Amino acid sequence: DAKTTQPPSMDCAEGRAANLPCNHSTISGNEYVYWYRQIHSQGPQYIIHGLKNNETNEMASLIITEDRKSSTLILPHATLRDTAVYYCIVRDLTGTASKLTFGTGTRLQVTL
Amino acid sequence: KAGVTQTPRYLIKTRGQQVTLSCSPISGHRSVSWYQQTPGQGLQFLFEYFSETQRNKGNFPGRFSGRQFSNSRSEMNVSTLELGDSALYLCASSEGVVGYGYTFGSGTRLTVV
């Protein structure tokens, strides 16, 4: 799996948008971009995934650059409950290698 | 529907002992994966099972093993426990072999003393 690079930590004021960047410059054509988050002492939670187009669901939006070498996860109105470690993962769905390779992630701290 | 259930939630074992952890996937999910999380190494993939067959294995010693039953429930076993095996062990399930999204359980916190 291609590797990803994320800033180790970020702060965001409650109610503001949180924009979490991820670099995946060696991503291949078959690899999707996934985002998970892990709230302290819980299992990771799936947020969103995409291949080329921007994606939006009830939790977040995913913006993928045209060259697919980077992406941004957007939490439109961050709350204190969004404080967590956010993992950006690239993953090939075409083969049988289905594991998730987690990096160190970004620790997002949402403050009042 | 019920989520991924892992038992027990907490476990304390002594060095040299062996331990078995259990995971019940979401109903209808046939793929179960196991991960180890430690402060030093982060989240690391252990293995994945689909329809009772191991499909993928991470880079862990042979002391770590697993299996999946016909009802998709899975167990992982660690023999001859070492202090370094202290970790949060997480189970995740998905519908297929290459599922679009994995649902994780809350994990089993294993402490080896």
User: What is the SS3 assignment for A26-90?
Assistant: CCCCCEEEEEEEECCCCCCEEEEEECCCCEECCCCEEEECCCCCEEEEEECCCCHHHCEEEEEEE
The mean per-residue pLDDT over the stretch A45-72 comes to: 94
The nearest CA of chain B is from the CA of A103 a distance in Å of: 8
CB atoms within 10 A of CB A12: 19
CB atoms within 10 A of CB A13: 11
Q: Residue B32 pairs with which residues in a beta bridge?
A: B49, B93
Judged by CB atoms closer than 8 Å, whether chains meet at A46 and B102 is answered as yes
Q: Say what the pLDDT of residue A41 is.
A: 79
Q: Nearest residue of B to residue A37 by CA position? A: B104
pLDDT tier, B99 (very low <50, low <70, confident <90, very high otherwise) = low
Q: Residue B48 pairs with which residues in a beta bridge?
A: B33, B56
Q: Judge whether residue A1 has pLDDT over 90.
A: no
Amino acid at A78: A
Q: What is the DSSP letter of A8?
A: S
CB atoms within 10 A of CB B97: 18
The mean per-residue pLDDT over the stretch A51-71 comes to: 95
The mean per-residue pLDDT over the stretch A88-102 comes to: 76
Judged by CB atoms closer than 8 Å, whether chains meet at A43 and B42 is answered as no
Q: What is the mean pLDDT of chain A?
A: 91
pLDDT tier, A30 (very low <50, low <70, confident <90, very high otherwise) = confident
